[in-house]
Structure 1
Amino acid sequence: LLQGSVLALLLLGLVVGALAALIRRRLLGPALRDAGLALPPARPVRTHPAIPLTLFTVLAVTIGWGLLRDPYAVNTTARLASPSWAHPLGTDGLGRDVLARLGHGAGATVGTAAAVCLLGLLIALVLGFLPGVASGAADIANALPPVIVGILVAAVVGPGTGGAALAVTLLSWPALSAHAAALVQEVRASAFLTAQRAIGATPWWILTRHVLPSVAGPVARHALLRLPGIALALASLGFLGLGAQPPAPEWGLLLDESRAYVERAPWAALAPAVALALLAALAVSGAAYTSGRRRVRKAAPALKEVPVAV
């Protein structure tokens, strides 16, 4: 049943990917190829800097406070204790401090997710200049959910943090590479690049001073927006026993360990869940804030430019 489901997902991904590519070519036609597609300037999205700063401060203080505590200290006399001065987020079923386990688990969840995002970003920037090479592989990767890939990777390398990171990495690059490929195609079809070639600019100059800066910023913000989803995928694999193994303080494992007594001690499950929600809000607000600042900064000098006919 698992093999049949995986094959059906792969076939569905290939068919949908092929149809999407065909529809895209029919809709665009020669517009991009002939530099005839003129897009209006995007309006800057303004986000107050206090929002991401506040979210970052809350997460950083909570994680830093937890790092000062012992996540493995067992105290059975204080098991399932409610939040107090001694245990600000309460204790779990073995009497371990939830705040300590939340702080130490940030490295296994958020740190690994950040590393996966960075690797996916690098892969996307490389494959963005080779869209035809990676299109089929991207369609297959998009069709596979992380859980299925986690099961397959765990069967090969065994369950653990490394196997979960590998499974999520295998699926993290297709959306970023598709975004990068679309931006590369759009920038290459821009009229100002035609003028650069006409005045004798070298391909390396065009790549490093025009194409890559125009692609790297938006794709990096896209990767930042995918950080919470990657962290959630890692936590899901840990929840299913395919990621970090006990007694590691990983956020998905914390959720799994607390589900047996979630009605009696909900704080043990709420702590990693709220942390993941705060991480998602931080990524969205941070990406919106940096995007708004970059667009305003790029639009300001444009008012001083004078068109020159060559």
Structure 2
Amino acid sequence: MRAALTRVTGLAAVTACVGLLPWLSGRDPALTVLRARSAEQEPTAEALASIRDDLGLGAGPLSLLGDWAGGLVRGDLGTSWVSGADVLPSVLSGLGVSLGLMGASLLVALVTATALCAEPLVRGARATARHRSGTAAAILVSLPEFLLATVGLLVLGVWWGLLPTSGWQGPSHLVLPALALGIPAGGLLGRLVDDALPAVFAERWTELWRASGVTAWRIAAAALRRSLPSVLPQLGLVAVGLTGGAVAVETVFAIPGIGRTALGAAKSQDLPMLQGAVLALLVLGLLAGALTHLIRRRLLGPGLRDAQLALAAPPPPVLGRLRTAVPIVLGAALTTIVGAGLLRDPYAVDTALRLAAPSGAHPLGTDGLGRDVLARIGHGAAATVGVAFAVCVVSCLLALAIGFLPSVAAGASDIANALPPVIVGILVSAALGPGTGGASLAVALVSWPPLAAHAAALVQEVRASGFLAAQRAIGSSRYWILTRHVLPSVAGPVVRHAVLRLPGIALALASLGFLGLGAQPPTPEWGLLLDESRAYMERAPWAALAPAGALALLAGLAVSLAALPLTRRRSTHAA
């Protein structure tokens, strides 16, 4: 009941914020609608008054919101302010396209995750498991979706002519966008499962099964089923993110999905269309969240609920010199690049050196205006890594706090995750204006749900563990149990999860900057550098490869740091 109440409250709050968007922005909605309908028409007082009368803007935002809610009860989402068409058919059409894209992308994600987890799963079942850093998965997670889309479009679509480059006419149009969306999502799922497997194989039942002669494949299947409950909530969140968060990919391939529909409606302040699109995303998020929670409970079952040990506390990996040196090497490389770039001017324009290849004077080449790419990467580190790190810390702390209220975390996570950063960025920038602050707040609002869902799942598993019942039986206080057992078991994997999301947070900030909602040109922000180089990627690929390489170094550094144990002692219940 508490989770349902949270979902309903969040749904009402977000819908109300969307309804108040034109008035929160401080701009005249009549003027925006006039420009969306006809950019050439003069915004005279008579024209604006006619639009206000036509749309009923004179009645105020609360009246419009009430009329829309009344129509919603009757199954009427209203009429578009710009096109004059009914909103419901447009929303259903966009949602159908996005659901098809989501299904294909989810299939790619599952195949990718399976490939990443196959080896550690088999080795663990045969008692030959060794610690894996998960670098490959982290690199996949950090790959910018719109960069993958652009590279796939150029290589497979333009150069080789194997696949269509735009439109939505048949199954062949699914391949490129599904790969662009599914590969990073599969990297995330694979990394989470890989992180949970060591704790599963350290449990005593695996040793008993091996001693009893159970085959490695049966042990592997049981271990996978054992690890899924703590990861399954992420699958629902990923599915919703693939539907609503594909705005950049839908833009690259001109796909008429629900995310692109919402973005276009927000830019033109087409309030009924935006409300319908956001409502569809929220309902989809609620349904996906409820379904994954039901499946998770069924996977746990009464037996697993009694035997749940915290997958949150895997045994600390045994680190050799090589694995210890990895974060040092990656950190040194990233620091060297940033330091060298800081010694150069990122704003100096030399049109005679436009798109110059890498040389001694310009080690990473120049961009379309002749600016030094190395300088722009170095100076963009603060706008990219620094802001992303601050957002990551805030999201992690918020997730740990909310994770101890699983029912509240479940509902709030579903509501927040149903809105992609782009849509939240639009709502926040409408109230605060475009800029780094508004973009940071928008990304923080949607970065904590996966972490909170992860923390809530782990809290439930720890609370169901037998050793906690023993602690209560011997008279341990709730504070002692919370601080010495529950919190240490949950904080470690959630912090590692947050570190792994650092490159994704940096990319989300960059995406908002590309849409004009975050860092503004000529700010040397890494995501903006990627977007600015898309137009001439075929001619000067180094301009895009340089910021992509910086993000890859950041991803490798993040995963190597996440692999380091927070403590070299096992917790009491994991020993």
- The counterpart of 2:324, out of the listed 27, 49, 65, is 49
> Is this contact kept in 2: 1:80–1:92, CA < 8 A?
yes
Root-mean-square deviation over aligned CA pairs: 2.6
Deviation, structure 1 residue 31: 4.7
Which residue of structure 2 aligns with residue 199 of structure 1? Answer: 474
How does the TM-score come out when normalised to structure 2?
0.48
Q: Which amino acid in structure 2 is aligned with residue 98 of structure 1?
A: V
Does the C-alpha gap of structure 1 residues 272 and 38 become closer, same or farther in structure 2, counting only changes over 3 Å?
closer
* Equivalence map 1:110-259=2 (5 Å): 110-259=385-534
Q: Deviations over 1:112-170 (max 9, x none)?
A: 11111111100111001111123222112222222222233233322221222112111
Which residue of structure 1 aligns with residue 286 of structure 2? Answer: 14
Q: Deviations over 1:6-47 (max 9, x none)?
A: 2111101111111222222333244576x4335799576566
Identity %: 71
Q: Which amino acid in structure 2 is aligned with residue 181 of structure 1?
A: A
Which residue of structure 2 aligns with residue 83 of structure 1? Answer: 358
The number of aligned residues is 299
Q: Structure 1 CA distance, aligned partners of 2:343 and 2:356? A: 20
Q: Structure 1 CA distance, aligned partners of 2:409 and 2:346? A: 43
Which residue of structure 2 aligns with residue 269 of structure 1? Answer: 544
Deviation, structure 1 residue 91: 1.9
Deviation, structure 1 residue 271: 1.0
Q: Bigger CA drift: 145-154 or 248-257? A: 145-154
> Is this contact kept in 2: 1:239–1:255, CA < 8 A?
no
Q: Which amino acid in structure 2 is aligned with residue 62 of structure 1?
A: I
- The counterpart of 2:347, out of the listed 72, 79, 84, is 72
Q: Structure 2 CA distance, aligned partners of 1:43 and 1:204? A: 24
* Equivalence map 1:277-296=2 (5 Å): 277-288=552-563, 290-291=564-565, 294=567
Q: Which amino acid in structure 1 is aligned with residue 524 of structure 2?
A: P
Q: Structure 2 CA distance, aligned partners of 1:77 and 1:24? A: 60
Does the C-alpha gap of structure 1 residues 130 and 38 become closer, same or farther in structure 2, counting only changes over 3 Å?
closer
Q: Structure 2 CA distance, aligned partners of 1:210 and 1:234? A: 35
Q: Deviations over 1:190-211 (max 9, x none)?
A: 2332333333322222222221
The reply to whether residue 94 of structure 1 matches residue 369 of structure 2 is: yes
Local SS of the residue matching 1:298 = coil
> Is this contact kept in 2: 1:32–1:186, CA < 8 A?
no
The reply to whether residue 36 of structure 1 matches residue 307 of structure 2 is: yes
Deviation, structure 1 residue 111: 1.1
Q: Structure 2 CA distance, aligned partners of 1:39 and 1:284? A: 22
Q: Structure 2 CA distance, aligned partners of 1:179 and 1:43? A: 18
Q: Which amino acid in structure 2 is aligned with residue 22 of structure 1?
A: L
Deviation, structure 1 residue 301: 9.1
- The counterpart of 2:569, out of the listed 275, 295, 298, is 298
Deviation, structure 1 residue 280: 1.7
> Is this contact kept in 2: 1:32–1:185, CA < 8 A?
no
Which residue of structure 2 aligns with residue 5 of structure 1? Answer: 277
Local SS of the residue matching 2:346 = coil
Q: Which amino acid in structure 1 is aligned with residue 423 of structure 2?
A: I
> Is this contact kept in 1: 2:426–2:517, CA < 8 A?
yes
Q: Deviations over 1:241-273 (max 9, x none)?
A: 222101111111112222333333322222111
Which consecutive residues of structure 1, in runs of 5 or more, have no partner in the other structure?
A: 306-310
Q: Bigger CA drift: 275-284 or 101-110? A: 275-284
Does the C-alpha gap of structure 1 residues 204 and 32 become closer, same or farther in structure 2, counting only changes over 3 Å?
farther
Q: Deviations over 1:57-98 (max 9, x none)?
A: 211110111112221222333333222222211222222221
Q: Which amino acid in structure 2 is aligned with residue 281 of structure 1?
A: G
Local SS of the residue matching 1:80 = coil
Local SS of the residue matching 1:204 = helix
Does the C-alpha gap of structure 1 residues 72 and 83 become closer, same or farther in structure 2, counting only changes over 3 Å?
same
